[in-house]
Amino acid sequence: MAYNNILVSVHDQHIGIVMLNRPKQLNALNPELMTELGAALLAFDADEQIGCIIITGNEKAFAAGADIPTMAQFDFAQVYKADFVTKNWETIRQIRKPVIAAVSGFALGGGCELAMMCDFIIAADNALFGQPEIKLGIIPGAGGTQRLPRAVGKSKAMDMILTARTMKAQEAQEAGLVSRVVSLEQLMPECLQAASTICGYSQLAVMAAKESVNRSFESSLSDGIMYERRLFHALFGTLDQKEGMDAFVNKRIPTFKNQ
């Protein structure tokens, strides 16, 4: 697929990078961009060489939300019948390899929601998070009312969604939305380092860990723990478990084969 709204690259053979690329519109997420993003993510997920994926924007904007002029034309019948953009926005949920959001600048509306759909967020100190949809007469539509409270708690989520106030990187980190905050210059090096660390582990264990953590959002504690236990047991059937533990016992660096 030819990409017109994203830039796709591979770093160090194992890290897939998708850069959102509509800088004039602050990376506003139109349906074409979301379709391209989905295609790029699926291609990286299917590529044996790729161990981790990074989604990023530019210095000024990760993404300032869904494309407002596109949405402005729609009426209820259209969005309901077409299930407005649900399909291409949901692709990221199918991705089984880790996806890191490298966020600098605006992460608003759908941009904030996209970042929250990633597995974790590393932010530059100029990042700004918000769900300002209320100003447009709508509410978040890509999971913001569900993922934000899970990340930052009800009070702060309500505050952000009802007043449209934004949150700087530092506050977002303190609230638990963001895992690390670094300087703008350090954003990609930090993300690449995190991705490279992940790529050095057993891909089977990494995928199982992601699956198990995500399960915690969908199940009761006891069901989630049972799910974890089954995956944990299953990993004892892998060569990588033998390799990892043998390497520890023999004081050497493990070489995982993703088997």
Q: 106 and 77 in contact (C-beta within 8 Å)?
A: no
- Residue of the chain from 36, 133, 190, 240 that contacts ligand DAK (CB under 6 A): 133
* 38 binds ligand DAK per the rule CB under 6 A: no
Task: Decide if 185 is catalytic.
Answer: no
Taking the complex as a whole, the smallest distance from the CB of residue 203 to ligand DAK amounts, in Å, to 29
* 31 binds ligand DAK per the rule CB under 6 A: no
* 129 binds ligand DAK per the rule CB under 6 A: no
Task: Return d(Cα 246, Cα 240) in angstroms, integer.
Answer: 10
Closest CB to ligand DAK among 164 and 225?
164
Q: 21 and 27 in contact (C-beta within 8 Å)?
A: yes
Token pair in block for residue 32:
């074409």
Main-chain phi, psi angles of 108, to 5 degrees: -115, 150
Task: Decide if 151 is catalytic.
Answer: no
- Residue of the chain from 16, 31, 38, 65 that contacts ligand DAK (CB under 6 A): 65
Q: How far from chain centre, in Å, is Cα 2?
A: 23
Task: Decide if 144 is catalytic.
Answer: no
Options 110, 111, 143, 144, the catalytic residue: 110
* 85 binds ligand DAK per the rule CB under 6 A: yes
Interface segment toward ligand DAK; rule CB under 6 A; list 67-75, 116-124, 199-207, 230-238: 67-75
Compute CA distances 242 → 121, 181, 245, 246, 251, whole Å: 32, 36, 5, 6, 14
Task: Decide if 113 is catalytic.
Answer: yes
* 108 binds ligand DAK per the rule CB under 6 A: yes
* 98 binds ligand DAK per the rule CB under 6 A: no
Who contacts 94 (Cβ-Cβ below 8 Å, separation ≥6)?
A: 42, 45
